[in-house]
Amino acid sequence: MPELPEAERARQQIEKALGREIVAVDDRDSYVCRPHAPGEIEQALVGHSLTKALRRGKFLWAETDRDGPELGLHLGMAGRIVIDEPPHTPWDRFTLHFADGGSLALRDKRRLGRAVLEPDYGHVGPDAALVSRDAFRQRIGRGSMAIKARLLDQKSISGVGNLLADETLWQARLHPRRPSGELSEEELDHLRRTLRAATRAAIAKGGVHTGTFIPHRKKGGSCPRCKTAVERATIGGRTTVWCPTCQV
DNA sequence: AGGTCTGTTCAGCT
DNA sequence: TAGCTGAACAGACC
């Protein structure tokens, strides 16, 4: 499920854990906690509290008090953050236990989430809802990759998932296969405004599935604007759906 | 029953 | 250097 709107909701959940002393950590899932060995994250965090919950795109992290390490979290494709809920094994892949008896857990059936100390998010591009016009022109409007693939590249800008990319390109009337470096400045500026609006609308309404196009994205669907049957192909390694009439 | 799928990282290739 | 592909994770859904 998680795209940027779900990541923002997870960040707000983490805020509920701020200021609560960590007394134990379940970091035994060595895949989710890679490259850390079991016990490593626990040893680094016990005695500290989280002090701030931050997000860029879909990447989450928390600062800790008294020069403790940062804790990086990622929801993967199916993860969410649950606070003060009864434990749910085996789906709670990583858990902080607090002195007050409560907890923060990364609940993730598919095990694609991630918990890591001192995360290096240096490669993560600016947040899709915040990126400036000049940064967007420079980072998106280059290279030969399909614009759909470029939007999904978290190094270029962060937070755009497969559904949000299809919704945004449909709203902006851009064909997903257009080479990103061949878009005009006007097209790039329009795409950026559309992306920011679609992202903020998705956050406000509670998810990407609240978009205009996404409900028509299924097989046999048709464009909500012109009723043309939608087309489907793999672009940037992901299933892509678009309107062959509206999107050029 | 078998195929598909909303994310990221990494190896390996061109 | 840029860009592409497939593997890995494991359950939900059609």
Tokens coding A74? 């990622």
pLDDT digits (tens, 9 = 90+) for A28-50: 998 899 889 999 999 999 999 99
Nearest to A34 by CA among A106, A99, A119: A119
Q: What is the largest CA-CA distance in chain A?
A: 60
Tokens coding A27? 């970091």
Q: What is the pLDDT confidence band of residue A209, given thresholds at 50, 70 and 90?
A: confident
Q: Is the CB of A143 under 7 A from strand C?
A: yes
The spacing between the Cα labelled CA in A33 and the C1' in B11, in angstroms, equals 20
Q: Is the CB of A145 under 7 A from strand C?
A: yes
Nearest to A74 by CA among A131, A44, A119: A119
| Closest alpha carbon to C1' of B4, residue | A239
The amino acid sitting at A153 is D
Q: Assess whether A238 carries a catalytic annotation.
A: yes
* pTM (two decimals): 0.93
Q: Detail the DSSP E strand segments found in chain A.
A: 22-26, 50-56, 59-64, 71-74, 79-83, 92-98, 103-108, 114-117, 231-235, 238-242
Q: Assess whether A3 carries a catalytic annotation.
A: yes
pLDDT digits (tens, 9 = 90+) for A119-161: 988 888 999 989 999 999 999 999 999 999 999 999 999 999 9
Count of Cβ atoms closer than 10 Å to residue A240 Cβ: 22
The spacing between the Cα labelled CA in A237 and the C1' in B5, in angstroms, equals 12
* Dist CA A24 CA A47 (whole Å): 9
Q: Is the CB of A220 under 7 A from strand C?
A: no
Q: Is A131 exposed, middle or buried (0-12, 13-18, 19+ CB in 10 A)?
A: buried
Q: Assess whether A2 carries a catalytic annotation.
A: yes
Q: Assess whether A196 carries a catalytic annotation.
A: no
* Dist CA A167 CA A43 (whole Å): 43
Q: Is the CB of A112 under 7 A from strand B?
A: yes
Q: Is the CB of A154 under 7 A from strand B?
A: yes
HSE at residue A127, side-chain half, CA atoms within 13 A, is 16
Q: Which of A58, A93, A107, A178 is catalytic?
A: A58
Strand order in the sheet with A79-83: A22-26, A92-98, A103-108, A79-83
Tokens coding A5? 């709107």
User: What was the pLDDT predicted at A123?
Assistant: 86
User: What was the pLDDT predicted at A156?
Assistant: 93
* Dist CA A176 CA A198 (whole Å): 16
Percent with pLDDT over 90 in chain A: 71
The number of residues making up chain A comes to: 248
pLDDT digits (tens, 9 = 90+) for A106-117: 999 888 899 999
